[in-house]
């Protein structure tokens, strides 16, 4: 704890209370409470290090009222790393007060890879007992409130795929004359919820004569656990994934979900403790590429098919401020013939999902999401493309509740259409 406090102080002293972070904080804009701003949280943590405030459950609740969207980081004139500060605070608070039982059990379940896989496959079979089809065909609605899972009866969620991605495709996806060999880190949501987007990524890579290995021993990236403060589980998963991905000596590690990509590329650096694994990660992290980034490096194929649609793009927080990717998806999408690309206002503003944030603070996250939907709808687009499954799920929910006809697709699914691979 003292070590963390000493680290916090290095950041806390930099804050000049200017309030710039207020103007960009979506939670503050929705909830209008100083405690939700980065400045407010910095003040609270300062009180902790000065011994005026204890690591109480109340403080834990306050620190949880943050999307970890990182919007307050780039604009801070003093360079306060609020993202690292808040994660570290959540870790100390979880260590002191624990986590709600449902969360703790769910996170522990992630460390039993085979059991977790079996559980979700069984869940896909029996989901009809708990969920019914949403009236607009956008997904499922809970038959009864499930507060433990953060589900009200109005929230539309996607169904679990009857066959996950890693069951649909072989571990080794060969090509006749390989020009490269990559690992595809699918993460959980592309595997269990959006396998079609994962299939599109594999097809695109194969069209470029890249052999794609989908390591069967990969685990959840750990983001839900460590962002909630459960570093024990987060560290276990991070170290497992690094061992599995480093063993293959791949040319690149391809991700299709911004949260997984940002975790593999950056967050693991502050989580992994084992020196040997840390060294492996240091060599591996530079190889982690989002599919759009990797594709721009390769160059798009010639003779793209027309995709007749109007499209707008949402920048996931973990893509734009986590992986530093903004140009690549736009460059690709704008190159597709027939596709009318229209930029939405505040494309890089958080959609309100924030991982487990939307499960706890659904009303706030809906308000934030509605701003995103309004901006998206003003473009007149019939497709919204994005590169994060959590954003996709949350935006689809909002569009469903609004009765909008706009479709949400993974950027790779749009590219696959242009490649004639759909
Ligand atoms: S923008 Fe940075 S320096 Fe200004 S109040 Fe927020 S955290 Fe402090
Ligand atoms: S990370 Fe996002 S939600 Fe959290 S304080 Fe910063 S701007 Fe607000």
Q: Give a yes or no: residue 108 inside a domain.
A: no
SS3 content of the chain, % helix, strand, coil (to 5): 55, 10, 35
What's the CA-to-centroid distance between 19 and ligand 1, angstroms? 5
Euclidean distance between CA atoms 217 and 78, whole angstroms = 42
Q: Is the pLDDT of residue 9 over 80?
A: yes
Span 78-107, pLDDT tens digits: 999 999 999 999 999 999 999 999 899 999
pLDDT of residue 391: 97
pLDDT grade for 155, boundaries at 50, 70 and 90: confident
Here the CATH number for the domain that contains residue 61 is 1.10.1060.10
Domain final residue pick, 62, 97, 132: 97
pLDDT one-digit tens code per residue, 258-300: 999 999 999 999 999 999 999 999 999 999 999 999 999 999 9
Domain span holding position 18: 2-97
Please tell me the total count of domains within the chain.
2
pLDDT tens digits, 300-313: 999 999 999 999 99
271 belongs to a structural domain = no
Predicted confidence (pLDDT) at residue 153 exceeds the cutoff of 80: no
Say how many Å lie between the CA of residue 37 and the centre of ligand 1. 9
By DSSP bridging, strand 383-386 and strand 339-341 are: unpaired
Q: Taking 90 as the threshold, does the pLDDT of residue 380 lie above it? A: yes
pTM of the model: 0.94
**Which residue, chain included where needed, has tokens 């493309």?**
385
Kindly list the distances between the CA atom of residue 55 and the CA atoms of 81, 183, 218, 260, 354, in Å, as whole numbers in the listed order: 20, 41, 35, 29, 23
What's the CATH code of the domain at 340? 3.40.50.11810
The confidence score (pLDDT) of residue 272 equals: 97
Does the pLDDT at position 126 exceed 90?
Answer: no
CB 45 near ligand 1, within 6 Å:
no
Q: What is the mean pLDDT of the chain?
A: 95
Cα(24) to ligand 1 centroid in Å equals 11
84: left (phi over 0), alpha (psi -120 to 50) or beta: alpha
For residue 72, the ligand closest to its alpha carbon is: 2
Tokens at residue 233, please?
């589980």
What whole-number distance in Å separates Cα of residue 416 and Cα of residue 295?
12
Asked if the model's pLDDT at residue 365 lies above 80, the reply is yes
Q: Which of 33-37, 124-128, 389-393 has the highest average model confidence (pLDDT)?
A: 389-393
């Amino acid at each position: 704890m003292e070590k963390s406090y000493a680290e916090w102080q290095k950041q806390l002293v930099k804050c000049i209370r200017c309030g710039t972070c207020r103007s960009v904080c979506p939670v503050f804009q929705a909830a209008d409470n100083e405690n939700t701003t980065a400045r407010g949280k910095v003040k609270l943590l300062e009180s902790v290090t000065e011994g005026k405030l204890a690591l109480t459950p109340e403080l834990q609740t306050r620190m949880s009222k943050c999307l970890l969207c990182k919007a307050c980081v780039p604009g801070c004139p003093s360079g306060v790393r609020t993202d690292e500060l808040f994660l570290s605070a959540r870790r100390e608070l979880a260590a002191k007060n624990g986590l709600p039982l449902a969360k703790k059990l769910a996170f522990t379940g992630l460390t039993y890879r085979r059991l977790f896989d079996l559980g979700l496959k069984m869940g896909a079979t029996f989901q009809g007992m708990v969920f019914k089809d949403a009236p607009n065909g956008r997904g499922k609605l809970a038959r009864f409130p499930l507060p433990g899972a953060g589900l009200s009866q109005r929230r539309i969620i996607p169904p679990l795929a009857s066959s996950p991605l890693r069951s649909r495709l072989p571990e080794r996806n060969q090509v006749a004359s390989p020009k490269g060999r990559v690992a595809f880190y699918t993460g959980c949501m592309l595997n269990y919820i959006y396998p079609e987007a994962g299939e599109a990524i594999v097809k695109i890579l194969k069209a470029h004569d890249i052999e794609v290995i989908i390591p069967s021993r990969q685990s959840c990236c750990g983001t839900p656990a460590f962002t909630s403060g459960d570093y024990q589980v987060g560290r276990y998963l991070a170290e497992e994934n690094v061992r599995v991905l480093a063993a293959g000596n791949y040319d690149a590690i391809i991700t299709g979900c911004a949260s997984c990509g940002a975790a593999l590329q950056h967050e693991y650096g502050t989580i992994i403790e084992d020196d040997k694994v840390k060294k492996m990660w240091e060599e591996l992290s530079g190889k982690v590429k989002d599919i759009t980034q990797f594709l721009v490096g390769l160059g798009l194929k010639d003779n793209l098919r027309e995709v007749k649609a109007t499209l707008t793009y949402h920048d996931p927080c973990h893509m734009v401020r986590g992986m530093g990717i903004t140009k690549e998806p736009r460059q690709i999408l704008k190159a597709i013939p027939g596709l009318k690309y229209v930029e939405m206002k505040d494309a890089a503003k958080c959609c309100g999902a924030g991982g487990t944030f939307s499960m706890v603070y659904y009303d706030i996250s809906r308000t934030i999401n509605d701003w995103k939907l309004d901006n998206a709808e003003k473009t007149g687009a019939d497709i919204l493309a994005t590169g994060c499954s959590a954003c996709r799920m949350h935006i689809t929910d909002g569009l469903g509740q609004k009765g909008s006809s706009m479709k949400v697709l993974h950027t790779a699914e749009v590219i696959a259409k242009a490649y004639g691979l759909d």
